[in-house]
Structure 1
Amino acid sequence: MTRGIGRDRTLPDAVRGHWADRRTPRFIRPYLRLARLERPIGWWLLLLPCWWSSALAAIAVDQPYPSPWHLALFLVGAIAMRGAGSTYNDIVDRRLDASVERTRDRPLASGEVGVPAAFAFVLLQCAVGLAVLLQFNPFAIATGFASVVIVLFYPFMKRVIWIPQIVLGLCFAWGALMGWAAAVGSLAAAPVLLYAGSIAWVVGYDTIYAVQDLEDDEIAGIKSSARFFGEHVRTGIAVCYTLAFLLIGAALILADSGPLAFLGLLAFAVHLGWQVVSVHAGDPAGALRLFRSNREAGLLLFAGLVLDALLR
């Protein structure tokens, strides 16, 4: 089921010196890489819309803070489901990954892990995600299950449409619905607008991420928003981030948010503007740093929402 599992491969976009690559038994490291544990930015970006939504719901229903229990559940769920989605994506893309410089050493593309073992690992991570989901109310559980179809189709979109990041956004922004659903037991216009804004944010930051692979993607015939925008990639990112700012702002208005929430949104917008100014198509390493910085951007918005709930 596995081949060459004792070899130690550090992927180019991994966090250098991460504990998953240094402090775990060698035989388990390829599976941790399938789950992207040495690249924690992925689960952060999946988690942040959940936390935004939880905090926005607290503002809307006059709670002093979002449920700590829900925040903790979303943390565990984001790590598990990001890992499951990444492993599934690598199963589907193992031949494409082998043709791209940045991804050819991934465990499936390189042969460190076989497909049957990878499928078993997907099921294990999904079991953790299901255990988390079942802690919520029935409406939130149904909302969580509704995302499965999108997740299953996403890996194939880069072969079909020029901006597959839109489908990625549908997946990664789903938490913008989940936090509200878990807190309120229903949905409203505010979380739907937050979801739409989060999708625009995902398309923007993943376009920055795709800048790393422009040359290899063209050779392999992989479609991406970075290739679609071409020499206008900075403008494309700016449009996405502007939409994110406007839609999230509309969500804050509908939830009757106060000045601190809008201050957090402003800090978020300034950070996104800095990314637009700083991105360069010929600087893959810089693109990776900017992509990772979206954790800080998202935390700025979350901090503003939490402080608004606390100090209303």
Structure 2
Amino acid sequence: MNLIACSAMSSNSENNEPKDDKEEDTVKLVYVEWASEIASTYVVKAAIEERLGYETEILPVSTIAMWESIATGDQDGMVAAWMPSLHENYYNEHKEHIENLGPNLEGAVMGLAVPDYVPIDSIEELEEYANEFDGKIIGIDPGSGIMEKTEDVLSGYNLDQFNLITGSDSTMTKTLKNAINDNRWIVVTGWTPHWKFAKWDLKYLQDPKNIYGSEEYISTMVRDNLQEDKPDVYRFLDNFYWEPSDMEQVMYWQEEDGLTPEEAAQRWIQENQDTVDQWFN
């Protein structure tokens, strides 16, 4: 990916003006319903529709189905591949049938998170305080990379007293909110960017065994032959890149201002036209 400095471009410029012959074409994007991926996918959808004129369908699925749908060609692409470790197994399984366009966001991290008032700092300390946490680690959807990593953490740190609770990003944050309101101990699967770190005082537990790995980045993956079928969409997806603060802003508007994902995406695009121009240069 190469973001080239450019002068501002109008959304109705010659290169990007919606064309009548695309009215029957549809771009199909797939994502997992994590707050981070909802934010990025809706921004990408809005940008494609505004600048390229394609109708764009987005489909929320499980992590496994997300990768499989790209590999089979049922979906055009996704901007939700956590690399190099979180989705490593999925990538290795399907890399012969997908194209990796590289990072669209860098500086992502993951691990176990607790409220600041919980007086421990390392995963190694969880065993001693299993009762305070009711023997639960609150997770998200089964099959997601962070859940697989957390299963490895349970084994690697001998946390036999803990159960990893499956659910969704939404149920995890609701459980976290309730615990914080009651000043109870809780440990959840965490990743950054995520709006929960802006809303509450949370901290990651140290991972001395480095099971979660170091910094992650989020990559864009597309199906085979997208470049030939929709070259303008391919170029945009190849150029799409933003900062963690951008993603967090979109998520924050949804959570704190009550905007829908569509409204938050449109607001971000309107307030960041220079960045959007770069994507379509």
Do both proteins adopt the same fold according to a TM-score greater than 0.5, normalized to the shorter chain?
Answer: no
Structure (1/2) with the larger helix percentage: 1
Q: TM-score range by the shorter chain?
A: under 0.3
Structure (1/2) with the larger strand percentage: 2
Q: TM-score, normalised by structure 1?
A: 0.24
Greater relative CO, 1 or 2 (CA 8 Å, sep 6+)? 2
